[in-house]
Amino acid sequence: MKKVVTLAFGLLTTMVFAQGPNLTKDYEKIEGKVIEWRHDIHENPELGNREFKTAEKIAKHLKSLGIEVQTGVAHTGVVGVLKGDKPGKTIGLRADIDALPVTERNDLPFKSTVTSEFLGEKVGVMHACGHDTHTAILMGVAEVLSKNKDKINGTVKFIFQPAEEGPPPGEEGGALLMVKEGVMKDVDAIFGLHINSQTPINTIKYKSGGTMAAAQSFTIKVKGKQSHGSQPWSGVDPILISAKIIDGLQTIISRETELTNEAAVITVGKIKSGVRFNIIPESAEMIGTIRTLDYDMKDKLNKRMVEMVETIAKAYGGTATCEINDATDITYNDPALVTQMLPTLERVAGKDNVVIQKAITGAEDFSYFQREAPGFFFFLGGMTPGNTESFPHHTPDFLIDDAGMQLGVRTLTEMTLDYLSK
């Protein structure tokens, strides 16, 4: 099936690239390398801030192309700088390189059998979100562009980012640390892609404006008064207060948030309290997540959560605090940049294969790069056409068709050349 799909894609690209730069041979030549790199990275995954071998592989490849390389960025990140033969702007291209604490269940010749430690536990490690494909694709883009410097009006910065899934507790990392260390200095615009296991290959999906949600974590601490379970009137029950708070938080979404504007989510993921069936405990703690796609909605939700938590606790005789921390910002595709680059996407993939999608409440720290410069983040199909069952990201059965990656190389390369030429 894979050979048939790849052949069909080759015929498609020959047609759609008739009007674009004549790099078809370069793309066809690099495809085998991209697949080989992807298989090797998939078989040897590494968790966030620990991507030592992956970074070494990337750096070695970039240096072999004559690209200026900086290593150790945000712990294990790699940045390559390629200057074209003509002056111009600077474009950033980003790929994330970390894997997840997931034990792979697929029966692949390049299946991961790697184990590591995560939060004090021994875990399997797997590229269960497709970061191996992102890395291999960007390595391919770097090789194609390095061989076509005469077509580059400006500078290309290749950003291989660690810890997109989040750094280990107590450590900094990811896009935010890369930004702090100056990776986005002088970058005029940035592009990134994400493979999708439930979208057919040769398909690109995108959305202008808010594309992926800002992710925030919250911790609510409730304090009551301990008492015997048979005498609730002599104490203040923090578990009861917690239940009322959980119920109240959902009314912020269902009754106070204009969901016809953008989606929003408040989820309590864990609650901890008590030690024994007949003791009303003194305290309770809840943790959870907030997802928003609009900055004004985000500010309003945060404000109302703090107010409601404190007020509900007080109404039942206790006290409570709500601490909210940012995990990622809103992945916001600059509308003007999207409009500028849409013709490139349609030329590369074919107009019928470029689809507008709705916003999703998943999160991406690519958003921190977009706070520094206009950015465009889109989704690349990775599912075999006609597949009757595809598995979501972050699961043991997650699977990507290699035939979908060449479109990623073509798209990022052509977007870079077109942006810099204009």
The CATH number covering residue 42 comes to 3.40.630.10
Residue type, 286: M
Active site residues per annotation: 98, 164
Express each pLDDT in 205-248 by its tens digit.
999 999 999 999 999 999 999 999 999 999 999 999 999 999 99
Which residue shows structure tokens 């298989």? 39
Report the percent of the chain where pLDDT is more than 90.
92
Average pLDDT, the chain: 94
Mean pLDDT of 347-355: 98
Give pLDDT, residue 135. 98
Question: Which band of pLDDT confidence, cut at 50, 70 and 90, is reported for residue 422?
Answer: confident
Which of 295, 328, 361 terminates a domain? The answer is: 328
Task: Look at 269-278, 340-349, 385-394 and tell me which has the smallest mean pLDDT.
Answer: 385-394
The pLDDT-based confidence of 175 (bands split at 50, 70, 90) is very high
Lowest mean pLDDT among 17-26, 56-65, 138-147, 408-417: 17-26
Domains: count for the chain: 2
Same domain, 256 and 193: no
- End residue of a domain, out of 328, 353, 382: 328
pLDDT band of 21, cuts 50, 70, 90: low
Rg of the chain in Å (alpha carbons): 24
Mean pLDDT of the region 269-275: 97
Structural domain of 280: 214-328
Q: What is the pLDDT of residue 157?
A: 98
Same domain, 52 and 159: yes
Looking at 305, 328, 351, which one is the last position of a domain? 328
For residues 107-126, give the mean pLDDT.
Answer: 96
pTM comes to 0.88
Same domain, yes or no: 38 and 71: yes
> What pLDDT does 20 receive?
53
pLDDT band per the 50, 70, 90 thresholds, residue 388: confident
127 alpha carbon, distance to own chain's centre: 13
**Position 266 pLDDT exceeds 50:** yes
The residue whose two tokens read 């059965």 is 397
| pLDDT for position 377 | 98
Q: If pLDDT is split at 50, 70 and 90, which confidence band does 389 have?
A: confident
pLDDT reading at 56 higher than 90: yes
> Is the same domain home to 149 and 51?
yes
Does the pLDDT value for residue 14 go beyond 50?
no
Secondary structure of the chain as H, E, C letters: CHHHHHHHHHHHHHHHHHHCCCCHHHHHHHHHHHHHHHHHHHHCCCCCCCCHHHHHHHHHHHHHCCCEEEEEECCCEEEEEEECCEEEEEEEEEEECCCECCCCCCCCCCCCCCEEEECCEEEECECCCCHHHHHHHHHHHHHHHHCCHHHCEEEEEEEEECCCCCCCCCCCCHHHHHHHCCCCCCCCEEEEEEEEEEEECCCEEECCEEEECEEEEEEEEEECECEECCCHHHCECHHHHHHHHHHHHHHHHHHHCCCCCCCEEEEEEEEEECCCCCEECCEEEEEEEEEECCHHHHHHHHHHHHHHHHHHHHHCCCEEEEEEEEEECCEEECHHHHHHHHHHHHHHHCHHHEEECCCECCCCCCHHHHCCCCEEEEEEEEECCCCCCCCCCCCCCCCCCHHHHHHHHHHHHHHHHHHHHC
Q: 179 to each of 137, 200, 333, how far by Cα in Å?
A: 22, 33, 18
For the stretch 240-262, pLDDT in tens is 999 999 999 999 999 999 999 89
Average pLDDT, integer, range 344-355? 98
Looking at the structure, do residues 164 and 244 belong to the same domain, yes or no? no
Same domain, 121 and 188: yes
Quickly state the pLDDT bin for 12 (edges 50, 70, 90). very low
Residue pair 107/91 in contact (Cβ under 8 Å)? The answer is: no
One domain for residues 69 and 26? yes
Residue 119 scores a pLDDT above 80: yes
288 lies in the same domain as 232: yes
Are residues 296 and 361 both part of a single domain?
A: no
Q: Looking at the predicted structure, is the pLDDT value of residue 90 above 50?
A: yes
Domain harbouring 281, CATH code = 3.30.70.360
**How many angstroms separate the Cα of 52 from the Cα of each of 46, 159, 364?**
8, 16, 22
* 243 and 176 together in one domain: no
The first and second tokens of residue 124, run together, are 């399997």
**Cα distance between residue 144 and residue 151, in whole Å:** 11
141-174 pLDDT, tens digit per residue, is 999 999 999 999 999 999 999 999 999 989 999 9
Do residues 339 and 312 both lie within one domain?
no
Q: Please give the residue that has the higher pLDDT: either 184 or 1.
A: 184
Tell me, yes or no, whether 88 and 199 share the same domain.
Answer: yes
- Dump pLDDT digits (tens) for 26-44: 999 999 999 999 999 999 9
6/149 Cα distance (integer angstroms): 28
The confidence score (pLDDT) of residue 387 equals 85
Closest CA to 115 of 107, 104, 129: 104
